[in-house]
Structure 1
């Protein structure tokens, strides 16, 4: 990439810089259909996802130049690459220590087919508002091979910069969609999926529950759990057993435990596989 053409921008008042910085706000991400990715790893993952997303612009720190880790990267044709001072990089990324590179990427577009496939395993977030928790859950869902992640109303925007960073690229590996659970859950039930929620009051252990058939794992708000409307649709509540004195696990930890039990039964337990 020694011959890459870096286009210099020095002012934070540049219209492109203002447009990129505006993507820190949801309303501008929704309006433009684009979002920011920060750092070398996320750019590498976006490049692998060519066809799913388009990279509209790349910006690098002008002092550090093009990252060595991307020396062999093949950029889509006619992708502009800009060189910005660190202070301008910081304005666009909203971080005190800006990354060496960021990019503007189009949002992936998914239909609801992946949510309703026969025998599928879907993770649905009901009012999960913390970007780190949502990103971690998306990453865990990717790790266990879930078919999709749905963020219901009241959940954080999956393209929030903190959420995107927390996914570590998993945002490009499986369908992550926003939807109305009041509409999607009844349809999933009609298609034969069981709706499973975690509850401290449940009597059935998550290890005794049969996760092999089609199911949706429902994970609720950090403070209040599942909303009453969603909880009323749940077919089964399960409990994560705890031997120590911790009162509970946070939603990201609990979700990961449940996802991995589902994966164990589906793929790694020969006695329970049909």
Structure 2
């Protein structure tokens, strides 16, 4: 069953996903995530960094071989340990909180980009991240690894943007996207109110449906010869400018 969790349909069916390596397991256990099973290499034993955390946890410990761990994980070099973790329960309470600041991903398909944006959103103090339809699965092993544990630090919600974005607007939240035709730069725009920041697909940007709902557009100015930033880099620039305005002015 554990190896099957590398496949989305089995993750969906079982409501569980794989967390690989010492650091991610530490983050999961420290955050109080529901870790069902921890599997470790019999030759190396339970890593020292996890000993105390596992004494306090109520998860099953399974000792196995390096070959079995390699089959159950998605990395070229298998980790010494991995965990089977229950998917998160939907918690939308942070989305419409007073002065909420939320990152919305619309069709972002690369797991590295999604993981990096979640990590940046965590670092910049965003209230939540929303993954709309068309985004890569949050529980894809590459996505999970790319978050470096940040998926355990803030609410991440997979939802249908066609219903969620209009609901945000009904709560007085402004929807902000990027555009090369925008007259406001990300530095002149006022990020201090309730804002949802929309980031679109790597090739095509925001969907037409999302674009129709966007209230404001901003542009990231560039002084050098580069034509563009990838979505994770652009999102990080916007997140840190929003953090600066909201917390450091």
TM-score (norm 1): 0.88
1:132 aligns with 2:112: yes
1:37 to 16, 19, 22: 19
Q: Determine helix, strand or coil for the equivalent of 2:53.
A: coil
Alpha-carbon shift at residue 84 of structure 1 (Å): 1.8
Give the conservation status (yes or no) of the 8 Å contact 1:42–1:169.
Answer: yes
Q: Output the CA distance in 2 between the equivalents of 1:92 and 1:221.
A: 30
Deviation at 1:95, TM superposition (A): 2.1
Across the aligned residues of Structure 1 and Structure 2, the Cα RMSD in angstroms comes to: 1.1
SS in structure 2 of the partner of residue 150 of structure 1: strand
- Which structure has the larger Rg? 1
Aligned residues: 249
Match of 1:162 in 2: 142
Partner residue of 1:47? 29
> Does the CA contact (< 8 Å) of 2:30 and 2:53 recur in 1?
no
Aligned-partner Cα distance in 1 for 2:87–2:24: 14
Q: Structure 1 residue 221 and structure 2 residue 201: aligned? A: yes
SS at match of 1:189: helix
Which stretch shows the higher mean deviation, 94-103 or 65-74?
65-74
Pairwise CA distance, 1:64: 1.3
State which drifts further: 112-121 or 221-230: 112-121
CA distance in 2, matches of 1:262, 1:118: 16
- C-alpha distance in 2, partners of 1:201/1:65? 57
- Aligned equivalents of 1:78, 1:170: Cα separation in 2: 23
Runs of 4+ in 1 over 4 A off after TM superposition: none
In the superposition, relative to structure 1, how do residues 32 and 116 fare at CA in structure 2: closer, same or farther (>3 Å)?
same
CA distance, structure 2, for counterparts of residue 245 and residue 77 of structure 1: 52
- Summarize the alignment of residues 165-184 of structure 1 with structure 2, pairs less than 5 Å apart: 165-184=145-164
Which residue number in structure 2 is paired with residue 122 of structure 1?
102
Matched, 1:60 2:43: no
State the 1:76 CA deviation: 4.5
Shift of 1:82: 1.3
Q: Is the 8 A contact 1:61 1:89 kept in 2?
A: yes
Aligned to 2:5: 23
Q: Which residue of 1 aligns with 2:216?
A: 236
Q: Partner of 1:81: helix, strand, or coil?
A: strand
Aligned CA distance change for structure 1 residues 207 and 61 (closer, same or farther; 3 Å): same
Gaps of 5+ in 2: none
TM-score normalized by the length of structure 2 = 0.97
CA distance in 2, matches of 1:212, 1:96: 43
1:77: how far off? 4.9
Is the deviation greater in 84-93 or in 249-258?
84-93
Q: Tell me which residue corresponds to 1:201.
A: 181
Cα shift readout 1:77-104 (whole Å, capped 9, x = no counterpart)? 5422112211111100022210111000
